Amino acid sequence: MRLPRIVTVLTTSLALSLSLAAPAAASVLEPAPGTWSSSSPSSSAGGQLDPIADAKQLATSGLSGANDWACKPSAAHPRPLILAHGTLANGHVWAKTAPQYKAAGYCVFSLDYGKGGGLLQLIGGGTAPVAKSAKQLAVFVDGVLAATGARQVDIVGHSQGGMMPRQYMKFEGGQQKVHTLVGLGPSNHGSQSPVVEGLLRDQPWLAALLHLIGGVVSDVTCPACGDQIAGSPFLQKLNAGGDTLPGVKYTVIASRYDTGVTPYNGQFLKGPGVSNILMQNVCPWNFASHSDLDEDPLALRLALNALDPEHAVKPGC
């Protein structure tokens, strides 16, 4: 049994806690010297940009079932699948499920994103500003497309990893490059503590004050955590004009027992091409928490069905 993976943003925890996935006692892969940054892409010997080399620098190292750069998508599954971890995590959260996605016939790729963001980067990745992580996802997608020859990718993301691709698609040119986005407990509309939900709703001045304090603290500790507080400037900009983009299929898989991104129904999206699934409506006796969703068997089956709805399999409970 794994320990709960929860982040509480320091002084704001008494009033507004943002709980996100982080691996318990997991090793954090440090970037190798020369790891990609937005200001220093790699180049080939001829001085041309090398998208595959850039993507490889972001790839999760040593993850079974993922990052085979020679993999070519099949006719049955023509799009490579990218797995995106959550806050304070790395790609090894997919250790159990990456081989299962591969066994289902996908070319599977996993990246480690969001390092270099505040003090909590010492614990795990996904702490940098979400907009910065979306730029890294853009680099990774381009490399995966170049390596596989595919025109689009599918993405399965947990927590921040289910929301951050929306930033990529909306602001980094990714709309035409993503066919399906599956979010497992995604922080689409942020997270707030149920304890103070009523106060924030009834006292707008208090909400504004807490966002100000939380933003200052988060800039030092975990910028991505501040971005994911419900009502943050980042989320207001991301969701302005609607949750979805034309041409992309969205599936949100949420658990009633999620205490990491609260309230759980704030994970759901509105708009064309959206399927919102509450796991307990499928299997009432499933008690998956936020930190379980990247490897829960029901969540995996629902994700596989979303990726290939024509061959969907009825989940076993």
Please report which confidence band the pLDDT of residue 24 belongs to, taking 50, 70 and 90 as the band edges: very low
Separation between Cα atoms, residue 281 and residue 100, nearest integer Å:
24
Residue with tokens 């759980």: 264
Predicted TM-score (pTM) of this structure: 0.82
- pLDDT score for 219: 56
140-197 residue pLDDT tens: 999 999 999 999 999 999 999 999 999 999 999 999 999 999 999 999 999 975 544 4
SS3 assignment, position 253 = strand
Q: For position 15, what pLDDT does the model report? A: 29
Of 199, 216, 215, nearest to 207 by C-alpha is 199
The Cα-based distances of 2 to 87, 224, 292 in angstroms read 17, 24, 9
Specify the higher pLDDT residue, 41 or 56. Answer: 56
Write out the H or E segment, with its range, that includes residue 226.
helix 223-227
- Distance, in Å, from the CA atom of 313 to the CA atom of 14, rounded to the nearest integer, reads 43
The span from the CA of 79 to the CA of 221, in Å, is: 37
**Most confident range, picked from 15-29, 54-68, 194-208, 215-229:** 54-68
pLDDT of 49: 76
DSSP state of 196: G
Given a cut of 90, is residue 75 above it in pLDDT? yes
- The predicted model gives 274-279 an average pLDDT of 98
pLDDT at 3 over 50: no
pLDDT-based confidence at residue 1 (cuts at 50, 70, 90): very low
Spatial strand order of the sheet with 178-184 comes to 108-111, 81-84, 153-158, 178-184, 249-254, 274-278
What is the 8-class DSSP label of residue 233? Answer: H
CB 259 within 8 A of CB 249: no
**pLDDT bucket at 40, cuts 50 / 70 / 90:** very low
CA distance linking residue 112 with residue 175, whole number of Å: 21
- What would the mean pLDDT of 102-114 be, rounded to a whole number? 97
Taking the CA atoms of residue 177, residue 29, residue 117 and residue 161 in that order, the dihedral angle to the nearest 10 degrees is 40
What's the mean per-residue pLDDT of the chain? 82
Please give the pLDDT value at position 115: 86
Among 86-90, 185-189, 198-202, top mean pLDDT goes to 185-189
**Rounded distance, CA 258 to CA 92, Å?**
21
pLDDT score, position 195: 42
